[in-house]
Structure 1
Amino acid sequence: MKRYVCLCLFMISCLLSPVCEGAVSLVQVQGEINGVQAAKLSRAIENAEATGQEAVLLEIDTFGGQVDAAVRMRDRLLRSQVPVFCYVQPRAWSAGALIALACDRIYMAPGSSIGAAEPIPATEKNIAALKAEFAATAGQRNRNVQAAAAMVDKTMGYAPYAAPGQILALTSLQAKEAGLADGVADSREEVLRLGGLAGSAVQQRQEQWQDGLAAFLAHPLVKSLLVAVLFLAVMTEIKTAGTGVAGLIGLGAAVLLFGEPWFGGSGLGLETWLFAGGVLCMLIEMVVPGFGVFGVLGIAGILGGVFLALGGDGAAVGWMALSLLIASILFWWLLKRLPSSPLGRHLILEDAETTAAGFMTQTVRQELLGKTGTVVTPLRLAGTVRLEDELLDVVSEGEYLPAGCKVVVSQLRGATIVVRRYHEEEEEK
C-alpha cells in the first residue's frame, strides 16, 4: 500500500511541475521594443538557465523602438548561458536588428528583412554610439561587422546592396549572403531542425505582472513624474522642518524610479548606485563638520543618478527641467492650499502665544553684548554656550565652532544671541 501511495504522489508531482528540461522556451517580440519586451526576454532566459532548457527561440517582428530597452536586451542575450535562436518573421528593423545580431543564430523567414537602424535623431553622436554597438555585437557573434555598421551609418554603404548615402536593409537571402543570417527557415520547426533541436517541445512564456510594471515605469513621462515627486518631497521636507511624511513619499518615488531595471530583470544600474552614493554623502554632510565637500558630492550624485535614470542624453535634461517645473508648481499650490485644508489643520499649529493669553515675549539682553564664554555643544550654526554661570542657546555668525572654543557675543538680533570666535589679540587691545 505504501508503495502505491508513493507512486501516486510521484505521478502527481510530475503532472504539477512544468516539464522544462529538454524543452525550448518561445519568446515573441512583436511591436515596439520597450521595457515589457526587455523584461519578458530577461525572465525567459533566467528561467531557461535555471530549469536546464535546451534553448530559447526568439521570434522577432518589429519596426524598432526604444534604444535603451534594445541595448538591455542585447546585453542579456550576450550573457545568456543557453543558446538563443532568433527567427525573424517577417522583419527586424532598427532596434530589432540589434537584438537579432546578439542571438547565437539568426534564421529568417522567406521574404523577411533586417536592418534600417539609423537612429532618430540622426546626430553624429547617436550614429557613432549605435554603430559601435552594432559592430561590437556582430563581432561578438562572428558576423559581418561592416554590414552591421552600415545598417546604422548610411555614409558607409555596403556594395552591392546599398550605395554610400543609403542605409542598409537586407532581405532574408541577402542577409545570408552577407554573413549576417545563418539560414532561411519556413517555420519554427525548420528553425529547430537547422539548430539541431528537431522534435524539441516549444513552451511559450506568458507575461508576468513584473513585466507590465517595468514597462510602465520605463516610460519617460512616468519617470519624469516620479522625479517631480522626488523634488517636491525635498522641498516639502525643508519647508516643514523634516516631519518625515514627505520624506517617505520621496523614498517611495525613488524606489520606483531606480528600481525599474530590477523589476525588468536587469538588476540595479549605475544610476541607482550614483543616487544612493549622493544620498549617503548628504547624510555625512549633516553629521560631519566640513567645508561642504560632501554636500557638493551629494548633490552631484543625486542629480547624476536622476539624469542617467531619465536616459542620460539631451532629452533627459528636458525631462529634468519639466520635473522641476511640475514640482515647483505643486509646491506653490501646497503653500497656498495646505494651511486651509483638513490635513493642513492637523499639521499646522494655529494657536498663538499672545500677550492677551498671558504669554510674555523674551526680552533683549543688552548686557550680554561683548561678553565672552565657552562653547558647550558644537555650534553647527546653532548650539549652547556657557556665559559666566549661565547656559544660553546661541547661533554663530556662520562658522562651525567646536565644543570648548572661546566665543564672544558679537550682536543681538532681537532675542537671538549671535556669537563669533574669540581671538586672543582682542585681549591685548
Structure 2
Amino acid sequence: MKSVFLAILIFLVSLSVGFAQNADTTSTKKLVYKLNIKENIAPAIWRQTNQAFAEADSLNADLLLIHMNTYGGTVLDADSIRTKIINSKIPVYVFIDNNAASAGALISIACDSIFMRKGGSIGAATVVNQTGQKMPDKYQSYMRSIMRATAESHGGDTIITAQDTTFKWFRDPKIAEAMVDESVYIPGIIDTGKVLTFTPSEAVKYGFCEGIAEDVPEVLEQIGIKDYEITEYKPTGLEKIIGFLVNPFVSGILIMAILGGIYFEMQTPGIGFPLIIAIIAAFAYFAPLYLEGLAANWEILLFLVGLILIAVEIFVLPGFGVAGILGITLSFTGLFLSLLNNINFDFEGVHPDRIMTALMTVIVALFGGFTMSLIVSKYIFTAESGAFKNLSLHSVQKIEEGFVGVDTSSKNLVGKEGIAYTVLRPSGKVKIEGKIYDAVAELGMIDKGDPVKVVKAEAAQVYVEKP
C-alpha cells in the first residue's frame, strides 16, 4: 500500500515539475520587435518609427531592435527619432548592418546598445546639403549639441544586464562631437581637420559599440536572449500609398488630371464631374508631399491663389492680362516648389538634379495635360455618340433655314416713342415701354430725358429722332 502511495506521490511531483518547466519556458520567451531603417532618414521614416514604437508598446515587446543601413538624411527627423528612442520605456538596440552615417549615427548613439557588422561604420555626422557641401556653422552647432546631449544621456556607469551578459556603459560626448566637427582633437583617436568615423573594432574599443555580429540572431545571442519571437514592422497601407504618390511619374499624371479637370469643367455648364476629378487630383498631389515635408503651407497657398486669379481672368475680367499671367505663374510655382525640400526660397540644400527633375515633371505634365485635353475634348464633345455627347452643340443652324445670329424683336419698335435714357452722341440708350435699348440718333445729339421716336431698327439696334 505504501508503495502505491509513493508511486502516486512521485507521479504528482514529476507532473508539477513538468508544469513548472513549461511555465518557466513560456515566461522566458522574449518578444523582439524589429524596425528596419534602410533608407535615408526623412519624414516617412519618422512616421514609420512612431508607428513601430506604438505597436511595440501595444504588444508589450521586451526589446525593440533597429536594423540599420543608412547614409543619413534630414537632421530634424533624425532628432525626432532619437528623442523617441531616449524616452522609450522599451529597451532599444540597434544593429548597424553596414552604415550609420550622419543622421544614422545620431539615431544609433541614442539607442541603449549598439551592435555592428564587420566592415560597417558609424560617424561622419557633419551636416551637408544634397551636393555633399558642408552647411553653414549654425547647422553644425545644432548637430554638435544634440550629438553631445545624446552621448551624455548614456553617460556614467550605467549597467545593462540581459540574463548572463553585463555591459558597462560610457559614451564620451567629446567623441560624439568629433563625429560632427573636424576641429575637435582627441589624443590617440582623431586629429584636427578630420571628421571622426569608427570601424566596428574602434567603436567597441571606445565605448560606441557593444559587440560585433553578422546578423540579428547573433546580436540576440550576444545580448543573452536565446528563446525569442521576432515581430517585424510592416509599412501600413497609407505609407505605401504615400510612397506611390510621391513618385515623379505619378506626380506628373496628377498634374495632368488637375489641368484636364479644370479645362473640361470650363467646357461644361455648372459644377460637375471634371471639377471633382481636379479636386481629387490636387489633394492626391499635395497631401503626400505635405506629409513628406516637401510641400509647405505657403506653397499650397500659392497654387490656390493662382487658380483663383486664373478664374477671375476668365470669368470676370475681359481679355487676358495681368491677373491671368500672375495666376499661371503662381500655380506653376506652387506645383514646382512643392516637389523640392527647400526652405522658403533657400535652395542651398537641394541637389540640382532634384530641381531639374521637379521642373521637368511640372513642365511636361502641364504641356501634356493641355495637349491631351484638346485632343480628348475633340472626341468627347464632338462625337456623335458617347457619354458626353449632349454637353456640346453638334447641329448647324443655317441662315437659309431661317436661323439668324441677331435678335429681330427690335423691328417691332419702329414707330414707337420713348425717352432718351442717356445722352445720344449719336449713340446711347433709350427707354421704350419700360425697357432699355441701344440706340443711335439719326440727326445731331439728343439730351438725356428728351422724347424720341423709333424710325428704323437694324442689327439689334434702333435709330431714333426727336418727334
TM-score by length of 2: 0.55
Which residue identity lines up with residue 84 of structure 2 in the other structure? R
1:67-116 CA deviation, whole Å, 9 max, x = no partner?
35x85465245235444322223432345334424545434346531124
Partner of 2:295: 271
Deviation of the 1:130 alpha carbon? 6.1
Distance 1:283 1:336, change over 3 A: closer
CA deviation map 1:271-311 (0-9, x unaligned): 36546656776799889x9xx99x98998699558624532
Structure 1 or 2, whichever has the larger Rg, is: 2
Taking the aligned partners of 1:104 and 1:215, their CA distance within structure 2 comes to 31
| Partner Cα separation in structure 2 for residue 270 and residue 91 of structure 1 | 26
Whether the 8 Å contact between 2:294 and 2:341 is mirrored in structure 1 is: no
Contact 2:44 2:292 in 1 (8 A): no
1:231–1:336 Cα change, 3 Å: closer
- C-alpha separation in 1, matches of 2:364 and 2:419: 48
Q: Say if 1:281 and 1:297, in contact at 8 Å, map to a contact too.
A: yes
SS in 1 for 2:95: strand
Choose the corresponding residue for 1:91, options 83, 86, 99.
99
Query: Is 1:49 aligned with 2:57?
Result: yes
Corresponding letter in the other structure for 1:356: E
Query: Counterpart amino acid of 1:321?
Result: L
User: 337, 362, 369: which one pairs with 1:307?
Assistant: 337
Q: 1:360 aligns with which of 404, 407, 411?
A: 404
Structure 1 equivalent of residue 80 of structure 2: 75
Q: Does 1:122 align with 2:132?
A: yes
Alignment gaps of 5+ in structure 1: 1-18, 373-385, 394-413, 417-429
Query: 279, 297, 319: which one pairs with 1:251?
Result: 279
Distance 2:435 2:243 in 1: 63
What does residue 325 of structure 1 align with? 363
Paired residue secondary structure (2:295) = helix
In structure 2, give the amino acid aligned to 1:204: E
Q: Contact 1:131–1:149 (CA<8 Å) still a contact in 2?
A: no
Mapped partners of 1:331, 1:243: distance in 2: 20
1:351 paired residue number: 395
Deviation, 1:148, is: 4.6
Pairing 1:371–2:371 present:
no
Deviations, residues 141-162 of structure 1 (Å, cap 9, x unaligned): 2356665565456576766545
Whole-Å Cα distance in 2 between the matches of residues 107 and 415 of structure 1? 90
Q: 1:186-222: per-residue Cα shift (whole Å, max 9, x none)?
A: 4757766888988664323345544433333344554
Q: Is the 8 A contact 2:257 2:281 kept in 1?
A: yes
- Aligned CA distance change for structure 1 residues 337 and 114 (closer, same or farther; 3 Å): same
Name the structure 2 match of 1:27: 35
Separation in 2, partners of 1:272, 1:191: 41
Where structure 2 has 5 or more consecutive residues not aligned to the other structure, the ranges are 1-26, 153-171, 317-321, 384-388, 411-417, 424-429, 439-458, 462-467
1:183 aligned onto 2:206: no
1:247 CA drift (Å):
3.1
CA distance in 2, matches of 1:157, 1:200: 43
Q: 1:217 aligns with which of 245, 249, 252?
A: 245
- Cα distance in 1, alignment partners of residues 262 and 176 from structure 2: 46
Q: Which residue matches 1:408?
A: none
Whole-Å separation in 2 of the counterparts to 1:156 and 1:242: 68
Deviates more, 1:44-53 or 1:307-316: 307-316
Q: Which moved more, 1:51-60 or 1:71-80?
A: 71-80
- Contact kept? 2:151, 2:176, Cα under 8 Å: no
Partners of 2:362 and 2:419 lie apart in 1 by: 46
Whether the aligned pair in 2 keeps the contact of 1:150 and 1:157 (CA below 8 Å) is yes
2:197 to 155, 169, 172: 169
1:88-167 pair list within 5 angstroms: 88-109=96-117, 112-117=120-125, 119=128, 120-125=130-135, 131=140, 134-143=143-152, 147-148=175-176, 150-151=178-179, 160-167=188-195
RMSD between aligned alpha carbons?
5.3
Letter in 2 for 1:142: A
Report how many aligned residue pairs link the two structures.
351
Distance 1:185 1:219 in 2: 37
Quickly say closer, same or farther: Cα 1:261–1:59, change in 2 above 3 A.
farther
Quote the Cα distance in structure 2 between the aligned partners of 1:297 and 1:132.
41
In 1, the alpha carbon distance for the partners of 2:112 and 2:251 equals 33
Q: Distance in 2 between matches of 1:194 and 1:319?
A: 46
8 Å Cα contact 2:204/2:210 also seen in 1: yes
8 A contact 1:90–1:112 mirrored in 2: yes
Residue 47 and residue 226 in structure 1: after superposition, are their counterparts in 2 closer, same or farther (change >3 A)?
same
Q: C-alpha offsets along residues 22-65 of structure 1, whole Å, 9 cap, x if unaligned?
A: 73311233466678766654432231233333442102134x26
Cα offsets for 1:147-187 (capped at 9, x unmatched): 556545657676654544444321234335656x2522547
Q: Is the 8 A contact 2:30 2:227 kept in 1?
A: no
Correspondence for 2:435 among 366, 390, 395:
390
Alignment partners' CA distance in 2, 1:104 and 1:415: 88
Q: 1:30 to 1:199 in 2, by over 3 A?
A: same
